[in-house]
Structures are given as structure tokens and as C-alpha cells.
Amino acid sequence: NSFVTRTNTCGELRSAHVGQKVTLYGWVQYQRQGLFLVLRDFQGLTQIIIPQDEAHSHVKELLSSASAESVVRVTGTVSPRPPGQENPKMPTGEIEVKAETAEILNSCKKLPFEIKDFIKKSEALRMQYRYLDLRSVRLQSNLRLRSGMVMRMREYLCNLHGFVDVETPTLFKRTPGGAKEFLVPSREAGKFYSLPQSPQQFKQLLMVGGLDRYFQVARCYRDEGSRPDRQPEFTQIDIEMSFVDQAGIQRLIEGLLQHSWPEERGSIMTPFPSMTYEEALAEYGTDKPDTRFGMKIVDISDVLQGSDIHFVKNALSYPHGSIRAICIPQGVRYLANKDLESLKESAKSQFNQEIMEMIRRPDGSLKSLLTKLLGEKEQSELIQALNMQEGDVVLLAAGEHKQVCSALGTLRLLSANLLEAAGLALRDPTAFHFLWVVDFPLFLPKAENPTELESAHHPFTAPHPADTSLLYSDPTKVRSQHYDLVLNGNEVGGGSIRIHSAEQQRFVLEKVLKEDSEVLSHLIEALEFGAPPHGGIALGLDRLISVIVDAPSIRDVIAFPKSFRGRDLMGNAPDYVTSEELEPYHIQVSWPLEEKEAKKN
């Protein structure tokens, strides 16, 4: 209550305050028949008794007429609630304030929705009136938890470990590869700035500059169009260090998260477990596994390789062919036929992957189209390999290794959703399972032209020390020194040890990626002036907080988010500008015909 004219907040009064005269400010949560109202501020609720005597008739008239969400000041005396009227669900439930004077500071017009967490509101309406949505307990709690975590992160990095907080520019130039960047026109004809996807180049240049340890709560920008649960502008905890290896970065981040972790969410154990990219793909079908539950992908190629089944022989004839399966516990009980058909359809539509199902009956036998083609020995080995219990359902896929694993990884998550919707507790919402994923490939074939390569992450990632020679002979086989941090199946961080040799950086850009290295000449030249070995990481703050608070969307942990189409529905941005405003930037807009007509009207 420092610096303000209230004596207390609406969430702090207790029995110990009885008899004290207090002044409260807040919003009218609700009012009951001119007898009492509940006043709310950022910290909680207090019940205000409206006086009924003639001497305070003006106070009664004023408070009785106050509409919901009007802002009022109330001065009065703290009293104990009458016996039997205490409210144990309210922290202030033992007391009430008997109003003596009051003032409506600002009345509220008819609301577009009620300010209550349990009231269903469309997301578009919430974002149009975001300033009202921010009054909800949930958003207030999320933003305060976020603020507290960031403060403790600053303390850990700057006060305890000597990091320097540096702001880097947001007007820069285009970076080759990666996500699309927002362009910003300049007054030089034909020349544009670019908003950085991350401070990647600047933090490396800070290491060349000898800063040793850099940190920033960085605003980043990506023009990714209409992608659900992504934001065109987002926040990273951005970190870079000199003379560090992968293990050093991992230890730093584990300590950082332990130090900043919210007390009310329990404690987290370190070190975090680690898994290679290949292991993650083989066991979970994804590079961001949710390890809170089992249902791992099992390789059953060895069990079936001796059979004469056509699709088995066909699958195993591929250079990277395999037969794999997942076992859905109690699938017979919790999944309907339509659920199984939906799972198979998802694999077909997303991955062009056929799925075969097997069920273990109560008598222990298998029900499947496959059973006629398998001997008793093979059936027994399958049951053992998959640890099938009575009532379990197995989904089996055969074909190229990566496609099979990716399809089963998706079905694993979809199955978990279906099981939980049917009432089987599978993933503990209060559990936090961190995981490091390491040894990613350095390069991947381009989707549009598989004969060309692109960086799996970005072109500044150093190759794995054991694979450096392969960079020059067979770059497709090179592992990177990249590492991702995964939490409950969400990627919440990623980083790498960087290339610090100008010669190697030029080779990667020009010979492997076929990019024009001139765009990055400033960085390559900097590497020629005694660049130290360095590496770093960025934590996605929005995603991290949303997982911690179990928010349905990252928009619930950002004060003023954009819609999934990238629009600000409150301020109606982006918006048109006049041709006169565009003139200094040498830009003319070529309007589609329908938009020309719309502007005329």
C-alpha cells in the first residue's frame, strides 16, 4: 500500500484488523439487494456492508446504485461477521467492512461479458475487450506468476552468475533460412529493415566483443501467418556464454529453472534426463516427447521378420524399413470403434500410413486380421514384446522407419486424449517432466526439393565434434551440437554450441546450404577477429509459463496477444495507412479489386 491513498487491499483484511478504520479502493464484483456488496482488487475480495440508517442514506443510495465493475472508494470499520455467516472459502471471510463514506470514482456501462472465470466467453470477444478480460483472477494470477519468475531469473543470471543484461536492436536485416521475418520499410528506396526472429547474430557478436556472459528478456518476431497457438511477437529468455560446452549450458538452465520455479508448483529435480533425437523418434515418434506416461513405440520387426505376411516382407525390404506398435492400456474398455477408426484415419490422412489393430481378449487370445497369418509362437512373442494385458489394444504400423514412428507418435498422443476424455487418468496435470533432447541432425533435406539441404535449426550451429570430417564428405550424416529442452511434450527451449571458425561458417553457408554468404559478411568477418568458442540457448517464456499454469493457450499468459490470424482485435491492427504516409518509404499498394471496392464504400 506504499505510495497510494488506500490503507489496505481488498485481499488482506483479517480478524486481527477488527476495529480498525480502513479505506479500500476496487471494483464492484456484485451487489445484493442494497444490503451488501463485494469489492474486488488485484489481491482479493472484501464484503462491504451498506448502512441502512437514515444518517448514512446518501451512502446507501450511492452503493446500492453502483453497477457491477464500477470503481469505488469505501471508508469504514472492520467488523467480525455475525456467527454462522463466515465464509471459509474467502481469505477475508471472517470479517466485513461497515461502510461509513463512499465515492463512485467511475461507473461502468453494460458489460460485454461477466468478469468471472467460470463464465464461457468467445476468445474473439475476450481479445476485443482484453482490458476487461485482464481483470479475471486467472489472467491476473498468470501474469503475476510470469513476472515473479522473470525477476528470479534475472537475479540468478545477473546477481549470482555474472551475466550482463544487454538490449539488442529490433531493426536489423534479413537472415537467410528459418521462419519468415517482418519487413519494415526505410526512407531509402527499395531498402527494408527486418525484425529479428531472435537476437542470434547479436548475441554471438557480443561474445566476439568479449562480454563473456549475455542475457536478455528478448522480444522476437516471426511472420508465420495463421498458426494456432503461435504469436507473431513473443518473448525469449535469451542466453549466450563464451568458453562453454553443451553440458555447461544444460547445468546453467537446470539451475536457472530450479531457482526461479514457483513455490506453489512444487520442486523440480535435477539433472534433467537426456535422450538423443534418434531415441526420441524411435520410442515416442517425436523430438518433443511427453514422458509423463508410457505407451512407448515398440520395435516388433524381429518378432515378425520370419513370417510370410506380404506387407511385413514389403516393409522390411526398405533400406530403413521397420514394423512398430503401441499398446493402448484398457483400450477395449475406454475406446469405442469410432475412436479406433478415427485414429486409423488420422494416420492415413496425415502420414499416408496404414494401421492395423490387435486386441487381447479376456481369454488371453489375440483378435486381429493378423492372427490367421501368425503361428502361436509368434503371437506369444508379440504379447510378450508389447506387454499386452487383457483388454489392451495394439496399433501396428509397417513401412519406412521415420514415417512409421511419426505416425505412431501422433496416435500415441491422440489415444491419450481419448483415454483421458473417457475417464482414465493418464497424465498428471501437476507433474512436470523435463527432458533434454540432443544429437539432432545438423541438416535436413528441403521439403520442396529433397536433393538440397537446409539447417535443421539455424546455420550457426556447430557440428558434433565426432562428425566434423563428415561435414566435408557427407553432410547428411552430421549430428549437430544442438539441444532442445522439452517439458511435458512441449519444446520450451532450444540452443546450440556455435560455429566460431569463419572458414567453417563460410563453408556451411556456401557449399552445404547454397546461401549467399554476403548477407552475413559482418558476422563471418567478426569470426576472423579472434572469436571465442561460444554457445547459448533461448527459453520460450510464453510457452514455459503456459505449461506451468496449465493454460489452454499461450494467449492466456500474454497481456495483449494477437489472434491466431495475427490480428489485434482490440486496436484493430494491422490497419490501412494513406498513400501520403507511404510516400516517404517509396511504397505503393497494389489493391486487389474487391478491396478497392470495399475502400470506396
Mean pLDDT, rounded, for 478-492: 98
Residue 298 shares a structural domain with residue 244: no
Same domain, 188 and 85: no
pLDDT digits (tens, 9 = 90+) for 373-383: 888 888 999 99
Strands 213-221 and 164-165: parallel
Res 600: pLDDT? 57
Average pLDDT over residues 317-331: 93
pLDDT at position 294: 95
Exposed/middle/buried for 588, CB within 10 Å: 0-12, 13-18, 19+?
Answer: exposed
Cβ atoms 200, 178 nearer than 8 A: no
3-state SS, residue 345: helix
Residue 47's domain comprises: 15-106
**pLDDT above 70: residue 341:** yes
Task: Identify the sign of the CA torsion 122, 127, 128, 130.
Answer: positive
Cα separations in angstroms, 45 against 42, 87, 128, 465, 478: 9, 12, 26, 59, 59
Nearest CA-CA partner of 160 in 250, 248, 240, 252: 252
51 and 160 assigned to the same domain:
no
Residue 225: count other Cβ atoms within 10 Å of its Cβ: 11
State the cell numbers at 398.
Answer: 509397417
- pLDDT score recorded for residue 594: 60
Does residue 131 lie in a domain region?
no
CB 367 within 8 A of CB 317: no
Q: How many domains does the chain have?
A: 3
Note if the pTM is more than 0.75.
yes
pLDDT (average), residues 151-162 = 98
Q: Are 232 and 568 in contact (CB under 8 A)?
A: no
Question: Does residue 543 belong to any structural domain of this protein?
Answer: yes
Among 386-395, 414-423, 556-565, 589-598, the least confident range: 589-598
pLDDT at 595: 61
Residues 80-95, mean pLDDT to the nearest whole number: 96
Task: Give Cα 257 distance to the centre of its chain.
Answer: 16
> How far apart (Å, rounded) are the C-alpha atoms in residues 539 and 550?
17
Q: Establish if 345 belongs to a structural domain.
A: yes
Same domain? For 228 and 314 the reply is: no
Q: How confident is the model at residue 597 (pLDDT cuts 50, 70, 90)?
A: low
- String of DSSP letters for 471-533: HHH-GGG-BBSEEEEEETTEEEEEEEEBP--HHHHHHIIIIIS---GGGGHHHHHHHTTTPPP
Residues 386 and 414 in one domain: yes
What value does the mean pLDDT take over residues 74-87?
96
CATH at 236: 3.30.930.10
60 lies in the same domain as 183: no
Q: Are residues 301 and 351 in the same domain?
A: yes
- Please give the pLDDT value at position 121: 84
Tell me the percentage of the chain whose pLDDT exceeds 70: 97
d(CA 198, CA 469): 30
Residues 175, 144: one domain?
yes
Three cell numbers, residue 37: 456488496
At residue 319, the pLDDT reads 86
3-state DSSP assignment of residue 220? strand
Q: Please give the average per-residue pLDDT across 562-574, as a whole number.
A: 92
Q: For residue 120, with 0-12 CB atoms within 10 Å meaning exposed, 13-18 middle and 19 or more buried, which class applies? A: exposed
Closest CA to 125 of 113, 109, 115, 137: 113
Q: Does 585 fall in a domain?
A: no
Q: What does the pLDDT average to over 108-123?
A: 87
Nearest alpha-carbon partner for 207 in 159, 244, 248: 244
Please give the grid coordinates belonging to residue 458: 539455424
Last residue of a domain, one of 422, 454, 480: 422
Residue 358 CA to its chain's centroid (Å) = 35
Question: What percentage of the chain reaches a pLDDT higher than 90?
Answer: 87
**Distance between CA atoms of 370 and 413, rounded to whole angstroms?**
25
Whether residues 270 and 297 share a domain: the answer is no
> Among 440, 473, 472, 442, which residue's Cα sits nearest to residue 459?
442
CA distance linking residue 492 with residue 484, whole number of Å: 8
Output the pLDDT for position 593: 57
Q: Is residue 28 part of a domain?
A: yes
Do the beta carbons of residue 48 and residue 30 sit within 8 Å? Answer: no
**Residues 85, 103: Cα–Cα separation, whole Å:** 27
- CA 238 to CA 156: how far, in whole Å? 14
Domain co-membership, 343 together with 399: yes
The CATH number for 56's domain is 2.40.50.140
Q: At what angle are helices 401-421 and 277-284 packed, to 10 degrees? A: 60
pLDDT of residue 82: 95
User: H or E segment at 76?
Assistant: strand 71-80
pLDDT in tens, 290-319: 999 999 999 999 998 878 788 888 888 888
The 10s digit of each residue's pLDDT in 220-232 is 999 986 666 789 9
